[in-house]
Amino acid sequence: MKSFDIPQFYNSPVISRIKNSRKANDPKKKNYSPTLLDFGPVQFFIARHFGFCYGVKNAIEISYKAIEENPDKRIFLLSEMIHNSEVNNDLKNRGVGFIMDTSGNEIISWDELKNDDVVIIPAFGTTLEIEKKLNDIGIDPLKYNTTCPFVEKVWNRAESLGRSDFTIVVHGKYRHEETRATFSHSKESAPTVIIRDMDETIKLGKIISGETGINEFYKIFHGKYSEGFDPEIHLNRIGVVNQTTMLATETTAISEYLKNIMINKFGLENIDEHIADTKDTLCYATHDNQNATYGLLEQNADLAIVVGGYNSSNTSHIAELCEEKLPTYFISSADKILSRNLISHFDFHNQTEKVTVNYLQEKSPLKIILTSGASCPDSVVDDVLHKILSYFENTKSIGSVLIDID
């Protein structure tokens, strides 16, 4: 796999060393069990796979290249490059402006842009409508295009399916930047509808089977389907693609559910004519992060700490998996660890931050799961580990613990 030139301060002495060791000993990722760091009174289970993925590294490399190559120009990002405040704040500190927020609301008016400005497309990609807007201004939207290659793979697959008269069902959060971009590209070549989860999938399945009336489609999926969508025609041949940060298992389950609906309606012998096989569009990093999380949850741990941006979809899914088994604290940085007894963490169900008391239980050894989302720098995870270690006495040195993993 390609190596990337990203700022050294995003790496870390501890986490990066663990990753390099695991990669050397298990290059094909056949073993998803975590790495144990035993400091004596506290132990950490470090996930086999987490942190910056291929797409994020690619986006960071291109963004810093844009800054280096254009010292005398104004540089803008369409919106957050990735969902991580550490990375976005560093870009802001280097003079990069943001045109929109993550919901697509203008921060800077399009009228303020000039044809000699530089605009960076974020890792989520962007819509065809915004690409046209930039071209009309005279700005090349593809010069510093950091769209994840795996997102583009989804777009290409959707286009291919559209040419074969398949309708595209996008599994994603319809307000998310990536899903908005995928929808924009997909609807150019195929009728497209967005579904959020299995609950909406079941509702769609009932419409396909005829259990629910056709007119209900327009109410249930209002604002989530392409212009001219006719459920009587366009739900007879479908292919499921996803927002790459959604749980791969959920996308697979959605596709299998709709496949069974199609089998019941059209017969097994005709199934290939009615639902396309799109397993090849699932993002490897999301798949690996999910499997690594399952590997973590096989451990007899006391709590989990998940690090990442609060608006990061893949990070919230990791936290969701962890909280099904044990107390889980979703934090954006070590600063959220307020003391030995207090932690400020994100409740993604209610989209609010809250403070929990006595999160570090009085156990010896205390066993902690530690992982992060795909857009979180290793250095931030390193800071979290160091801060928690500072609350324990008579711990082994980091150097001696790391020797055991090499």
Which pLDDT score is estimated for 249? 87
Helix/strand/coil for 102: coil
Q: What would the DSSP string read from start to end of 69-114?
A: H-TTS-EEESS-SSS-HHHHHHHHHTT-EESB-TTS-BSS-GGG--
Asked whether residue 74 is domain-assigned, the answer is yes
Bridge partners of 118, per DSSP, are: 75
Whether pLDDT at 404 is above 80: no
Residue 211 has pLDDT above 80, yes or no: yes
* More reliable by pLDDT, 28 or 269: 269
Distance CA 273, CA 314 (A): 32
Instruction: Give the position of tokens 């090349």.
Output: 140
Residue 245 has what pLDDT?
A: 86
Cα-trace Rg, the chain: 23
Nearest to 32 by CA among 327, 283, 297, 280: 297
| pTM reported for the whole predicted model | 0.88
- Can you say whether residue 29 is alpha, beta or left, with left for phi > 0 and alpha for psi between -120 and 50 degrees? left
| Cβ neighbours of residue 199 closer than 8 Å, sequence gap 6 or more | none
Instruction: Judge whether residue 68 has pLDDT over 80.
Output: yes
Instruction: Supply the DSSP symbol for 395.
Output: P
Q: Give residue for tokens 């290059």.
A: 27
274 and 180 share a domain? yes
Distance CA 187, CA 229 (A): 10
Of the candidates 238, 262, 282, which is a domain's last residue?
A: 282
Confidence (pLDDT) at 285:
82
pLDDT band at 193 (very low <50, low <70, confident <90, very high): very high
Residue 183 clears pLDDT 80, i.e. is over it: yes
- CATH code at position 127: 3.40.50.11270
Q: Same domain, yes or no, for 182 and 217?
A: yes
Residue where the block lists tokens 């020797």: 403
Whether 367 is covered by a domain: the verdict is yes
Average pLDDT over residues 223-232: 96
User: Do 34 and 296 contact (CB within 8 A), yes or no?
Assistant: yes
264 and 235 inside one domain: yes
Residue 3 lies in a domain: no
Active-site residue set: 178
Same structural domain for residues 112 and 127?
A: yes
Say what the pLDDT of residue 160 is. 95
Whichever domain contains 274, its CATH number is 3.40.1010.20
SS3 195: strand
Cβ–Cβ < 8 Å for 41, 365: yes
Rounded to 10 deg, the angle between the 149-163 and 54-69 helix axes is 110
Chosen domain end from 248, 282, 316:
282
* Confidence band of 397 (pLDDT split at 50, 70, 90): very high
In this structure, are 159 and 269 located in the same domain? yes
Based on the fold, state whether residues 316 and 391 are members of the same structural domain: yes
Confidence class for position 2, pLDDT limits 50, 70, 90: confident
Over residues 92-122, the pLDDT tens digits come to 999 999 999 888 899 999 999 999 999 999 9
DSSP letter assigned to residue 63: H
Maximum Cα interatomic distance, the chain, rounded to a whole number of Å? 69
* CA torsion through residues 213, 170, 185, 314, sign: positive
Q: Averaged over 272-301, what is the pLDDT? A: 90
- Please name the residues in contact with 14: beta carbons below 8 A apart, sequence gap of 6 or more: 382, 385, 386, 398, 402
| Segments in 281-341 forming alpha helices (H) | 284-297, 313-323
For the segment 184-200, the average pLDDT, to the nearest whole number, is 97
Both 184 and 278 in one domain: the answer is: yes
| Contact present, 283 and 248 (Cβ < 8 Å) | yes
Across all residues in the chain, what is the average pLDDT?
A: 94
Q: Is residue 143 part of a domain?
A: no
Q: Which of 83, 110, 137 marks a domain boundary?
A: 137
- pLDDT bin (cut points 50, 70, 90) of residue 81 is confident
- The 10s digit of each residue's pLDDT in 311-359 is 888 899 999 999 999 999 999 999 999 999 999 999 999 999 999 999 9
pLDDT, position 406: 67
Q: pLDDT at position 184, please?
A: 97
Task: Judge whether 146 lies within some domain.
Answer: no
Q: Where are the alpha helices (DSSP H) in 31-84?
A: 54-69
Cα distance between residue 193 and residue 224, in whole Å: 6
Residue 152 scores a pLDDT above 80: yes
Residues sharing a CB contact under 8 Å with residue 333, sequence separation 6 or more, in sequence order = 85, 86, 307, 380, 383, 384
Q: How far is CA 250 from the centre of its chain?
A: 14
In a domain, 263, yes or no: yes
Residue 95 lies in a domain: yes
Structure tokens at 324: 């099904």
Does 267 lie in the same domain as 179? yes
Tell me what pLDDT residue 3 has.
79
Average pLDDT over residues 206-215: 95
Please work out, in degrees rounded to the nearest 5, the angle formed at the alpha carbon of residue 298 by the alpha carbons of 293 and 299.
Answer: 105
The model's confidence at residue 1, banded by pLDDT at 50, 70 and 90, is low
Distance CA 357, CA 163 (A): 56
Q: Which of 364, 359, 298, 363 is nearest to 328 (CA)?
A: 359
Planar angle of CA 386, 387, 392, nearest 5 degrees? 90
Name the nearest CA neighbour of 56 among 76, 80, 32: 80
Contact partners, residue 175, CB within 8 Å, separation at least 6? 103
| Residue 71 DSSP class | T
Residue 136 CB neighbours (<10 A): 10
Do 130 and 158 share a structural domain? no
Residue 313 and residue 355 in one domain: yes
* For residue 41, pLDDT beyond 70: yes
Query: What domain range is 170 assigned to?
Result: 151-282
Q: What pLDDT sits at residue 313?
A: 85
Q: Across residues 19-37, what is the average pLDDT?
A: 92
Q: Do 45 and 100 have their domain in common?
A: no
Residue 2 falls inside a structural domain: no
184 shares its domain with 122:
no
Of all residues in the chain, what percent carry a pLDDT higher than 70?
A: 100
Number of separate domains in the chain: 3
